[in-house]
Amino acid sequence: MTMKRFFSVSLRALQHKAALLFLGVLVGAGLAYPWSCQRIHRLTQEVHRLETEAASLKDQLKKYEELLGRRDTVQADRIVFIYRNKVPDYVKNVVERGMRDRLSPHIGKDLAKLDPLLLEQALDGQVFTVEQTQWEVEIRSIRITDRLEFSLALKEK
């Protein structure tokens, strides 16, 4: 047997083998397509979920950064009044509203730059009228931390 005859293949046999190879590729691709589509779909959903989660975390981080930035400033919800004597709640509500109005120019200012003596002078001795009774504010102490805390006593005039 010669080497030439060993490697010789007829054109028809070559076409037949090529057709079988092509058919195998098509069948393999046809079987792999649904599996790969399902995997791509799952990966796409996972990417979408992660993008949504990342956007949510970015929003949350932005809120925390804003809160940290505002910690050193006077905020209306961080003004606290502590009463040293017994006062009816309706009187406390009127007095607190009036005191917050007096403090409104200071909202947004840096806490470190507030002068407690100036605040005391602005608020001490204020008189509020509640149901034909006058109440005078006596500031006992002012504490400035991450909030403004006023210790006060109300005297009926």
Whether residue 135 sits in one domain with residue 90:
yes
User: Which amino acid belongs to residue 99?
Assistant: M
Whether residue 40 sits in one domain with residue 84:
no
Residue 49 has pLDDT above 60, yes or no: yes
Whether residue 141 sits in one domain with residue 87:
yes
- 134 SS3 class: strand
C-beta separation of 114 from 74 below 8 A: yes
Tokens found for residue 26: 């098509």
Total domain count for the chain?
2
Q: pLDDT per residue over 1-23, tens digit each?
A: 455 555 667 888 888 888 888 88
Q: pLDDT per residue over 116-147, tens digit each?
A: 888 888 888 889 888 888 989 999 988 887 77
Cα–Cα distance between 143 and 152 in angstroms, integer?
Answer: 11
Whether residue 149 sits in one domain with residue 81:
yes
Q: pLDDT per residue over 81-118, tens digit each?
A: 989 988 888 888 999 999 888 888 877 777 777 778 88
Cα–Cα distance between 58 and 60 in angstroms, integer?
Answer: 5
Q: What is the pTM of this model?
A: 0.51
Looking up tokens 């403004």, which residue turns up? Answer: 148
**What pLDDT shows up at residue 72?**
65
Whether residue 60 sits in one domain with residue 85:
no
Q: pLDDT per residue over 26-42, tens digit each?
A: 888 888 888 888 888 99
Give the end of a domain, one of 70, 105, 121: 70
Quick one: 144 exposed, middle or buried, by C-beta within 10 A (0-12, 13-18, 19+)? middle
| Centroid of chain to Cα 133 | 45
Whether residue 61 sits in one domain with residue 86:
no
Residue 148 has pLDDT above 90, yes or no: no
Whether residue 151 sits in one domain with residue 94:
yes
Residues spanned by the domain of 146: 76-156
Whether residue 82 sits in one domain with residue 43:
no
**What pLDDT shows up at residue 43?**
93
